[in-house]
Amino acid sequence: MTTAVQLDGITKRFPGVLANDDVDLTVEQGTVHALLGENGAGKTTLMNILYGLYEPTDGRIVVDGDERSFESPRAAIDAGIGMIHQHFMLVEPMTVAENVTLGAEPRKWGGLAVDADAAVREVAALSEQYGLDVDPTAPVETLSVGVQQRTEILKALYRGADVLILDEPTAVLTPQEVEELLSIFDHLTDQGKTIIFITHKLGEAMAAADDITVLRDGQTIGSIAADDTSREALAEMMVGREVLLEIERPPVETGSTLLTVKNVSTPSQRGVPAVSDVSFSAHAGEIFGIAGVDGNGQRELIELLTGLSTPASGSIVFDGEVITHASRRERIERGIAYVPEDRHAQGLVMPFDLVENGLLGNQRTSSFANAGRIDWAACKEHASSIIEEYDVRPPNPSASAESLSGGNQQKFIVGRELARDPTLLIATHPTRGVDIGSTEFIHEQLLALREAGVAVVLVSSKLDEVRGLSDRMAVMHDGMFVDTVDPDAVTEEELGLLMAGEHPTGGEQ
Ligand SMILES: Nc1ncnc2c1ncn2[C@@H]1O[C@H](COP(=O)(O)OP(=O)(O)OP(=O)(O)O)[C@@H](O)[C@H]1O
Ligand SMILES: [Mg+2]
């Protein structure tokens, strides 16, 4: 076997943080190598170093037997290293072929003009060769997340990548798309490409990877062949203790109806209904789950519940009062807390520190503001208690939100929202990008809220999560609730069909 990439003693120090501490990683050519580890363990940092985004403080990078140092991603790309980030970098109105070839377009007329036809042909050929199934002429904005991701893969392949790094590629995919991506990994490695992928999902790592390396606190804990380990063993390597991998939902007596949503509809920007005649209720001491493929109106429905938008028709009643047109602020004051889907756009102000971020939505609460003046000492104390309770790392209230790893940002938001002592919690993808130990913790918090008589509306694309936590659950497709199902009785196959808009028992709805 030849070694594609070898990292030797990589150390990366940020001001006050040792993100990588003498890390070793050996990746064999033609294999899939999974990188696991808790939030903040240093996975993204290590890959950013390999991709030339960060310069290591110390250590050696060996690619194809040659020691290299990359001062930019361009240098890494020239050495055959490609990286697909979690936030895609595609230009929306342009087509797949235009995006893939951007900056490296095939030319005609002696180099005078871009050869658009050749671009389409070359991209089609690459897509075919690696089983990516992408239409080169499709505008990127019309594509699902999964296909956009494959466009990013094409972009790296077009630039000659032999090693592909994917940072949590499956976090945003539907179960079906995950299957497709993993089979693309097979196509790629069959043809000699090497894949390094970061994930928090142990089952995926076991299924897709040849080898698995675990990082903890910036250090390599170990590398192991996927065939020689188990989910339990990996979980323990990652967290350093045993982790509860299954959700246990004890019986709880349900109380009064807290939220009643009646026939709400809202048009989308394109004129077609984004939410179409949705009705449901949520009770005290109950978790009401909404499952579905992303982009089927869940986001728009949640915006109606949180006051980020108002419905064109229908009504929303909370705790006996009509709140259909109540503002976001009014709803917070009435006891509705919200863990948003997009932590960058809605959950946090990235350049602000955690003290300031802990204050968001609390500016008018008497414990933080006195006669219009903000009590910064109380704010700092508040941020510190969230940090401690939710194990946010690094435990520094003066750290900016943007300096935290994705999972730690998420833990901070969940902590802030639960600290409001809500009557109703609306949580969208509360554990997206969150490591297994913290996922277990967040699940426990949601179940504790339920036990304390809070109503929880949970949107999640993780099937095991939404099934494990919910007392009742609806499946959303094309803006509508296709069906309401018993989470304990429904099978994965039935759910898959419902999520695709089909009724397992009687044709399409
Ligand atoms: N640009 C930066 N400036 C300061 N600290 C940083 C920076 N980037 C990362 N860190 C810190 O380095 C550590 C490792 O972060 P990294 O993003 O590599 O973690 P990760 O393993 O990818 O975590 P996650 O699973 O949450 O994505 C964290 O403590 C993080 O806060
Ligand atoms: Mg990361």
Binned at pLDDT 50, 70 and 90, residue 270 comes out as low
User: Which ligand lies nearest the alpha carbon of 47?
Assistant: 1
Cβ contact 486:311 at 8 Å: no
Residue intervals of the chain classified under CATH 3.40.50.300 are 3-239, 255-333+463-509
| pLDDT over 90, % of the chain | 68
Q: How far is the CA of 218 from the centre of ligand 1 (A)?
A: 9
* Structure-block tokens of residue 108: 């005609």
Cβ contact 294:148 at 8 Å: no
Distance, CA of 172 to CA of 227 (rounded, Å): 26
What CATH number labels 255-333+463-509? 3.40.50.300
Say what the pLDDT of residue 507 is: 41
Q: Which atom of ligand 1 is nearest to the CA of 407?
A: 26
Q: Provide the β-strand partners of residue 344.
A: none
Distance, CA of 143 to CA of 181 (rounded, Å): 15
* Structure-block tokens of residue 343: 């932590």
The environment of the single-atom ion ligand 2, i.e. residues with CB closer than 5 A, is 44
Closest among 254, 250, 266 to 444, alpha carbons compared: 250
Which carries the bigger pLDDT value, residue 44 or residue 367?
44
Checking 397-401 for CB contacts under 8 A at 24+ apart, the result is 397/353, 397/354, 397/355, 397/358, 398/353, 398/354, 398/355, 399/353, 399/354, 400/350, 400/351, 400/352, 400/353, 400/354, 401/348, 401/349, 401/350, 401/351, 401/352, 401/353, 401/354, 401/357
Residue nearest to atom 19 of ligand 1 (CA): 40
Per residue in 164-192, pLDDT tens? 999 999 987 877 888 899 999 999 999 99
User: Which ligand lies nearest the alpha carbon of 48?
Assistant: 1
Q: What residues contact residue 312 under an 8 Å CB cut-off, 6+ apart?
A: 265, 266, 267
> CATH top-level class for 3-239?
alpha beta
Residue 503 has pLDDT above 80, yes or no: no
Distance, CA of 447 to CA of 111 (rounded, Å): 63
Residues flanking ligand 1, CB < 6 Å? 14, 17, 19, 37, 39-45, 393-394, 403-408, 435
Per residue in 480-491, pLDDT tens? 999 899 999 998
Q: How far is the CA of 91 from the centre of ligand 1 (A)?
A: 27
Binned at pLDDT 50, 70 and 90, residue 505 comes out as low
Residue type, 253: E
